[in-house]
């Protein structure tokens, strides 16, 4: 199911065993800044940088894979499909917060899993690292949210 308006595309993907939701929006819109303000004191710096480059941001917000289905590739399929749809909608930057506080299967490294798609940790937030793609943008922001 998709809901479309002039500035934002909502992407919701559901399949047996899992679901994912997110959206694609111009960085000039308040959505990204509002979302980041919930998680980081550095939201203004990040949104300023995204707006300066005129980015169109794909934000992966929620993903869930049923416990009994984990390890079967459902999460990989969901993220791949989201990235494809977001790219088709003009996304130039992909963003997510790697929620390290959520329960994972024993031995599963969520951050490393997102890194396998090309995401790079840019800064710490209250829930886990803010991860971005492309890498150059993440590297510019490294340190914004880290204590030195």
134: preceding bond cis by omega (within 30 degrees) = yes
Residue 31 lies in a domain: yes
The radius of gyration computed from the CA coordinates of the chain, to the nearest angstrom, equals 15
- Residue 45 belongs to what domain range? 2-141
Residue 54 lies in a domain: yes
Q: Any bridge partners for residue 2, and if so which? A: 11
Residue 25 lies in a domain: yes
Q: Which stretches of the chain drop beneath a pLDDT of 50?
A: 1-6, 145-148
pLDDT (tens digit, 9 = 90+) per residue, 62-75? 999 998 898 899 99
Number of domains in the chain: 1
**What is the pTM assigned to this prediction?**
0.83
Residue 146 lies in a domain: no
């Amino acid at each position: 199911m998709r809901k479309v308006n002039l500035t934002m595309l909502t992407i919701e993907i559901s399949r047996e065993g899992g679901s994912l939701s997110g959206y694609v929006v111009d960085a000039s819109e308040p959505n990204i800044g509002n979302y980041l303000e919930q998680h980081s004191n550095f939201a203004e710096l990040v949104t300023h940088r995204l707006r300066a480059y005129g980015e169109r941001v794909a934000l992966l917000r929620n993903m869930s894979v049923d416990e009994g289905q984990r390890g079967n590739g459902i999460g990989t399929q969901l993220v791949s499909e989201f990235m494809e749809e977001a790219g088709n909608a003009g996304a130039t930057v992909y963003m997510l917060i790697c929620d390290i506080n959520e329960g994972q299967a024993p031995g599963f490294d969520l951050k490393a899993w997102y890194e396998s798609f090309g995401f790079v940790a840019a800064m710490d937030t209250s829930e886990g690292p803010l991860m971005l793609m492309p890498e150059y943008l993440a590297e510019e922001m490294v340190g914004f949210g880290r204590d030195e």
